[in-house]
Amino acid sequence: MHDVDFRPRSGGAAEAFRESAPAPAAPTRLADRIARLRALLAGLDRAVVCFSGGVDSGYLLAEAAGVLGDGATALTAVSPSLAPEERAGAEDLARQLGVRHVLVETHELDDARYASNPVDRCYFCKNEVYGVAVTEAARLGTAHVLDGFNTEDRGDHRPGRRAAIEQGVRSPLDEAGFGKADVREAARRLGLPVWDKPALACLSSRFPYGTAITPERLARVAAGERSLRELGFRVCRVRFHGATARIEVEPHEIPRLRSAGVRGEVVRRFRDAGFARVTVDPRGYRRGSLNEARSGAAPEAPPRPLAGPDGPAGARDAVEEAL
């Protein structure tokens, strides 16, 4: 077994992907999990890794490339629910890893069961994505399709997990006992640039269940989140409430978001993206916050419109806490 050394070349050139002899390491639980993962991958002839560009699938892909070499293929599903920057990031990482990367267009929005946004929406998306991945794997002569599901994902609302089981998709990180912290640390040790990348679910997760999803609405959410990241908010979500955008950032970032200079720029950009009103959730970003009502947690307060007495066209633009 050997380690993978993933380091940038000098001068800002694309990162090299090379293999080196194993370095001695004290036996640790993480080391055991890494060894277990590599042994699992070594038992596959070749595999297709469902690759979003995030840390989970990115780390799995790097390990698959280190163990299987040319037998590892990355597959990224492209649709309006994938932010353009995420597609570009996935392409860049696959290129740096030297892995064959297949981009496939998926059409989950054409399925009314998905577009109507029921609580099991993810099942219909994943069923299509995994179906495409299984087809690609068969074309390559293998039955092995892998995803980045880890042990901590078991406790979240994951309808797409049913699709993975039905399609025969394996989750090596989960099988090897990796939690999220394990994945990040293992990715950091490999030098992967995504090791500390914030989690970023697909854009459709920004819509309350029952709110229809359309390409135009997805584009508005993508534009809002892009603006927030450009303004330095690394962890952010734009929750869609019709004409209102509800922003979630890390709690300690809320004062900066509401500061005069940033607030005005946020409102201007969000208006350009098609939102008439902007609010900020005072509780800050929480993973799966739109699942709270489904799980019986205290319901979120409705966003307070940022419109004056003359309505949106004559509103005083501001970013305020939703009450």
Domain ranges for the chain, please list them: 3-190, 203-321
Structure tokens at 88: 């570009």
Q: What is the DSSP letter of 98?
A: T
- CA gap 268, 281 in Å, rounded: 19
- CB proximity list for 182: less than 8 A, separation 6 or greater: 30, 33, 150
8 A C-beta contact, residue 227 and residue 220: no
**β-strand partners of 320:** 279
Is residue 288 within 8 A of residue 119, CB to CB? The reply is: no
Element (H, E) at 100: strand 100-105
Residue 65 CB-half CA count within 13 A: 27
Residue whose C-alpha is closest to residue 252's, from 209, 279, 284, 226: 284
* 197 vs 234: CA distance, rounded Å: 9
Q: Is 241 helix (H, G, I), strand (E, B) or coil?
A: strand
Q: How far is CA 163 from CA 38, 121, 123, 149, 160, in A?
A: 25, 11, 6, 13, 5
Q: Is 232 left (phi over 0), alpha (psi -120 to 50) or beta?
A: left
Pairing relationship of beta strands 277-280 and 244-249 according to DSSP bridges? parallel
Q: What is the structure's pLDDT at 290?
A: 59
By CB atoms closer than 10 A (0-12, 13-18, 19+), residue 296 is exposed
Reduced DSSP (H G I as helix, E B as strand, rest coil) percent helix, strand, coil of the chain, to 5: 45, 15, 35
- 54 token code pair: 């995030």
**DSSP per-residue letters across 26-84:** ---HHHHHHHHHHHHHHT-S-EEEE--SSHHHHHHHHHHHHHHGGGEEEEEEESTTS-H
Architecture of domain 3-190: 3-Layer(aba) Sandwich (3.40)
Helices H / strands E in the chain, number of each:
12, 10
Q: DSSP per residue over 129-187, as a string? A: HHHHHHHHHHHTT---EE----GGGGGS--THHHHHHHHT-B-HHHHTT--HHHHHHHH
| Per-residue model confidence (pLDDT) at position 114 | 96
pTM: 0.82
Per-position pLDDT tens, the chain of length 323: 344 554 333 333 223 333 333 444 433 699 999 999 999 999 998 999 999 999 999 999 999 999 999 999 999 999 999 999 999 999 999 999 999 999 999 999 999 999 999 999 999 999 999 999 999 999 999 999 999 999 998 877 788 899 999 999 999 999 999 999 999 999 999 999 999 999 888 999 999 999 999 999 999 999 999 999 999 999 999 999 999 999 999 999 999 999 999 999 999 999 999 999 999 999 999 876 555 555 444 444 444 433 323 333 333 344 444 32
β-pair partners for 47: 72
Which tokens hold the place of 231? 């303004």
Other C-beta atoms lying within 10 Å of the C-beta of residue 298: 7
For 215, what's the count of Cα atoms within 13 Å in the CB-facing half-sphere?
10
